[in-house]
Structure 1
Amino acid sequence: MLGKRLQVFTIGIFFIFTENLYANISKNTEISLFLKDFLKQHVRSDKLATYTCWGKETEISFKKTLQDEILHSSVSEKSLDKLIYSDNIFLDASCTKTQLILQKIEELNLFTPSQYWMILKTGSDLDDFLQNIYFPITSNVYFLDQNYYGFSIKKVYSPSSKIQYLNQSFVGYWTLDNGYVEIIGKFDQNKDRKFIDTDITVSYVVEDQETLTHLDDYRYKILIDSVTKYNYAVLQHLYYLLNASKVELFRDTLYSKDIDGKHVIGMVEDLKSGICEIGGNPIEFLSNTVDEFDFVAHTRKMEKKFIFRATPHSYISNVFTLPFDTYVWYSCFGLMVAIFLVAYLVVYWEWKDPVFRKYLIPRFALRPDPVDIFLMEVGSAAQQGFESEPRSNAGRIVFIFTLISLMFLYTSFSANIVALLQSTTERLNTLEHLLDSRIPVGFEQNVSMKYFEDINFDKKTKDFYNKIYKPVFYGIEEGVKKIKEEFFGFYADTTSVYKYISDSFLENEKCGLREIPFKNSYVDYWLVARKNTSLIDLYRSGMQKIHEVGLRSREHHRIFTGKPKCDSEGGNFESVGLADSYGAFLFMGVGIGLSLFLFLIELAWQKYFKMKREEILNFIDDEEGRESYREEDELEDGPNEQQQHFDFAI
């Protein structure tokens, strides 16, 4: 009897154990199927790390179920630091050490946006289980609540680090028949994440202390601390989007430095030490800053360019050569040569024909002299005429057609000159053309000349090199004044220059402004956050939304001035200056110099000829004097010789 009872008891225990084992195996099979469906839905990595306490046989069965599609690895308390390389982690909250493991994971800052955490919890309240554990607002933590039909999935995060509160949102469910069904999409899961009573500290750089009382009124000296005012306005929208409390620090400098023996903390030191979350002033996007900060958003692009008023053609070329194309000039010179040859032949015939020459009046007839023919052509081209002209019918026909053809050329040339003197050139569009022109240039104070000096310019003038290697620096206001009063190129920040131009230029003076960018004109400045902050994705998405809805653009237009628009270009009339007449004065100067040179040659030749003539005359006078002296001697010596002959004869 006792043996039968013992046998029945043993069979009962076996059925109970078998039922529990089957239940565990069935439960674990459902979990593995859920994990496969969940990871496929979210297009995550096929690597999964798990922490369970189900017993050896159950865990072996669980791993076999996963191994076909998922690369599985186990997690222990000693290997938590290796979880940084895992994209998906599954934890069973019913294990005794799960809560301790979660606390250590929090200390290691492993709740990152790039990882998905799936925690299985049954039978107890989440708030009680997760007491003193902080899930950042950017983390992806899902709790699986097992029920009769399968699993319900909740996404949780802590909206505040100050108060123990857990935000829970139902995102989907899983059943054996339907698989994983997501009620709220991935984007919708993140759109309503907001802080509750959480401080975000921002450090700003302020040069003028008066700025602190005028950060948002857009009136007080808008160009002073303009970058700070702009980013302050943009970050107010970020505070509103995140529902965060703002804590603001104001520093005197961007980088820490010692002033009068006192260490002054800068904004960069606040970021590196973790005192602040975000830097209120952007910094340049450089290779060395990538390793020190997390970049949040590109808020401002600083543009430095050469700004100047549109210049006349005379500043870069000889305006008197521009009315005609090169081939037209060749045709004009060819016409002059043809006229010269025909006129010379006709005039030559007039003077050689004996019948026609009888009736010529030399005073009024054109002589067959190349100089006279050339002067006749020049007088006709300049519409001035000439004192003599051909007298034959053939010569008069040549002269008439010369006047008509050169009149049309003169009219076209004059009309084009007038248009060119009132128009501006479009050829001044590169840095090399600007520096090679007669336009003086200047640079904003504290501008680095390193990039300019590295340019390789070949075969340039001394004035060209002086503009680069002996630069002249001006303040913004002084540089804008020179742009207004003369043709002057000023290299500076465009927003600052255009602010002064908008305030000081007349409407017609705003027309014709030109820009020439340099290769490093565009400098990108980015807002940065402290390195490895858990909220970086939230900051970036918030700033992206601010940009997309136009709030950032609105704040930019309120503070920074763009290029002024031209409303009255037609009423602007420029008087002709000496620079426009440079070619005429140069031609006249060459003519005067050439005439003086020929005059001196003629004068020297005349003096030389006169001196030679005097020498010849003196020589002739000397010869005549000698001959007369001989004749007188002969007359005096003649009677004496006769007397001697007579005496000898006696």
Structure 2
Amino acid sequence: MTHIDSSPRFTYLITHILISIFNITPKYIIQTSYGSPIPNSKEYTGIIGDVQSGRAVMGATPVFFLDSRVHVVEYIAPNTKSYLNFYFKSPPLSYVSNIFVKPFNEYVWYSCFILIGLTLATMFTISKWEWTDPYFRRQIKRMPDATKPAISDVAILQLGVISQQGSDTELKSSSGRIAMIFALIAFMFLYTAYAANIVAILQSTSDSIKELKDLLASGMELGVEKAPYIVNLFKNVSSPIGREIIEKRLKPKGDKFLMPLSEGTDKMRSQFFAFFTEPSSINKLMSDYFDEAEKCNVRYVEYTKVMEPWFITQKNGCYKELLKVGLLRLRELGFYMAERKRIFHENPTCFTRLSRFFSAGLIDTYPGFLFFGVGCLLGLLIFFVEVFVERRKKAYRKKKQQSNVYFNQGNVFFGTKIAK
């Protein structure tokens, strides 16, 4: 269980070595907090209070630098570097961008639009010519329900060609059929390339989240490990982006964003979720429970620059220099490095980037459903407009017929004189 409270464990071991060097019999005082100011008093509670009052000679738990503590206790030697980061799995590409425009770059899209415009103009010109040529007009008029094609009919034919589907509009001339064949072949290659790329993109992940501002803009759910010093450092951040994350993303949730290490790691593994904790704790769980593909997919964003915690002793205490020299000597002799390798867990090694198959979800297909929904709403809107316009036309024609009453007076039809 060395991944739980790695930094206090490390500090305890270094303190134990220091005690053995000085041949001291220790007496440990157990506290439940680092310490906070007592209201209307200059004294502190917790570990800070014990060192301040002289009940403890030094703190065997690492303490971070705070302006309010500098005048209370003496910081004598650095402990070990400590980092606090947001950990998350690289999100699928569909979570951060519209994957339906990714298969082609902008120049290919421009070329496709130009090709669509050229083929549409060519087919419409040929269809208009077929209805003006006497030979083709006679052939077309023999067909049942033959109607002169409009630009909308040719556009639907063009959409059928693009999506490799059919249409009831058909060109009869040799030139029209040649244009149709070449359009089908050209769009067949484009359709194949697009389909192949979209399948690969659906299985791809994004590396777009590299900074706190990217994490804030991603919409990813956030959580914080429920540990006193982690919560304290998280809430006391001074960077503008950090304050914005707290105010916009976490404060509305109350304390629901605080969770145990195991719960946060499980959510990070299975959801679009970022978990704030120290590296050693989460590295141990990832090494034990994540498979190879998941290990390679984990990313982190540094939350804030945290100064390494220090050992503390009583202000102006008689043992200050002795403890300071002893701790720095242990650091120089490599005891810090040896104990750190025993206690702290490094990032899990990613040996091979194995590919995994992910089923397409609603987020992946959201642009398609959105396009379909907008099309349905637009169709219903146009339908109601057509019904309204048609009813208005019928009402106008009926009113006009009723007003054209025959008056047999001087052979006059409502203002129109009939010649005799």
Give the TM interval when normalised to the shorter protein: 0.7 to 0.9
SS state of the match for residue 358, structure 1? helix
Distance 1:427 1:598, change over 3 A: same
Deviation at residue 354 of structure 1 after TM alignment: 2.5
Contact 1:389–1:399 at 8 Å: present in 2 too? no
Q: 1:228 corresponds to which residue?
A: 8
- Are 2:361 and 1:581 equivalent residues in the alignment? no
Mapped pair 1:422 → 2:203? yes
Given that 2:99 and 2:198 are in contact with CA atoms closer than 8 Å, whether structure 1 keeps it comes out as yes
Contact kept, 8 Å, 2:250 with 2:257, in 1: the verdict is: no
TM-score scaled by length of structure 1: 0.54
Name the counterpart of 2:416: none
With over 3 angstroms needed to count, the CA separation of the structure-2 counterparts of 1:601 and 1:464, relative to structure 1, is farther
Q: Which amino acid aligns with 1:353?
A: D
Match of 2:173 among 370, 379, 392: 392
The reply on whether 1:284 has 2:69 as its aligned counterpart is no
Counterpart residue type for residue 491 of structure 1: F
2:193 aligned to 409, 412, 415, which one? 412
Q: Deviations over 1:228-271 (max 9, x none)?
A: 3221112223334x343242331314337779xxx996332343
Determine whether 1:358 maps to 2:138: yes
Does the CA contact (< 8 Å) of 2:222 and 2:257 recur in 1?
no
1:605 aligns with 2:389: yes
Aligned-residue offset at 1:582: 0.7
**Are the equivalent residues in 2 in contact too, given 1:348–1:368 (CA < 8 A)?**
yes
Distance 1:433 1:570, change over 3 A: same
Of the candidates 310, 320, 333, which is equivalent to residue 113 of structure 2?
Answer: 333
Per the TM alignment, residue 504 of structure 1 is displaced from its structure 2 partner at its CA by 4.6
Look up the match of 2:412.
Answer: none
- Tell me, what secondary structure is at the counterpart of 2:309? strand
2:379 aligned partner: 595
CA–CA separation in structure 2 for the residues paired with 1:493 and 1:536: 30
The Cα offsets for residues 341-366 of structure 1, whole Å up to 9 and x where unpaired, read as: 22222222222122443333556989
Residues 1:457 and 1:548: Cα distance change in structure 2 (over 3 Å): closer
The whole-number CA distance in structure 1 between the counterparts of 2:332 and 2:356 is: 40
Match of 1:470 in 2: 252
Determine whether 1:247 maps to 2:31: no
**Secondary structure of the equivalent of 2:29?**
strand
What residue is the counterpart of 1:484 in the other structure?
269
Cα distance in 2, alignment partners of residues 407 and 473 from structure 1: 50
TM-score calculated relative to the size of structure 2: 0.81
Percent identity for Structure 1 against Structure 2: 32
- Structure 1 window deviating more from structure 2 (507-516 vs 600-609): it is 507-516
Question: SS of the residue aligned with 1:515?
Answer: strand
SS in 1 for 2:81: strand
2:357 is aligned with what amino acid? Answer: F
How do 1:120-269 and structure 2 match up within 5 A?
223=4, 226-240=6-20, 242-252=21-31, 253-255=33-35, 266-269=46-49
Please show how residues 451-530 of structure 1 align to structure 2 within 5 Å. 451=237, 454-455=240-241, 466-471=248-253, 472-476=256-260, 477-518=262-303, 520-530=304-314
Q: Is the 8 A contact 2:222 2:250 kept in 1?
A: no
Larger CA deviation: 506-515 vs 536-545: 536-545
Which of 614, 619, 622 does residue 398 from structure 2 map onto?
A: 614
- The Cα of 1:542 is off from its aligned counterpart by 4.0
Q: Assess if the C-alpha contact under 8 Å between 2:29 and 2:56 holds in 1.
A: no
The alpha carbon displacement at 1:576 in A equals 0.8
**C-alpha separation in 2, matches of 1:311 and 1:452:** 28
State the shift of 1:331 in Å: 1.8
Deviation of the 1:533 alpha carbon:
5.1
CA contact (8 A) 2:119 2:183 kept: yes
- Kept in 1: contact 2:136–2:172 (CA 8 A): no
Higher Rg: 1
1:49-68 equivalences in 2 (<5 Å): none
Q: How many aligned residue pairs are there?
A: 397
* Offset from partner CA, 1:417-470 (integer Å, 9 cap, x none): 111100101112222222222422233444554547944999xxxx99742552
Distance of aligned partners of 1:571 and 1:323 in 2 relative to their CA distance in 1, 3 Å threshold:
closer
User: Aligned to 1:495, what secondary structure does the other structure show?
Assistant: helix
Shift of 1:585: 0.6
**1:574–1:543 Cα change, 3 Å:** farther
The answer to whether the Cα contact below 8 Å between 1:364 and 1:387 also exists between their aligned partners in 2 is no
Structure 2 regions of 5+ residues with no counterpart?
Answer: 410-420
In structure 2, what is the Cα distance between the partners aligned to 1:532 and 1:542? 17
Residue by residue over 1:601-649, the C-alpha shift from the partner in whole angstroms, topping out at 9 and shown as x without a partner, is 11212222233333344455xx36x869xxxxxxxxxxxxxxxxxxxxx
Q: Is the 8 A contact 1:270 1:276 kept in 2?
A: yes
Distance 1:268 1:612 in 2: 91
C-alpha displacement of 1:330: 1.7
Question: Matched residues in 2 for 1:366 and 1:351: separation?
Answer: 10
Q: Which runs of 5+ in 1 are unaligned?
A: 1-217, 629-650
Q: Residues 444 and 607 from structure 1, CA distance in 2 versus in 1: closer, same or farther, beyond 3 angstroms?
A: farther
**RMSD of aligned Cα (Å):** 3.5
What amino acid sits opposite 1:490 in the alignment? F
- The letter of the residue matching 2:24 is S
Query: How far has the Cα of 1:580 moved from its partner?
Result: 0.3
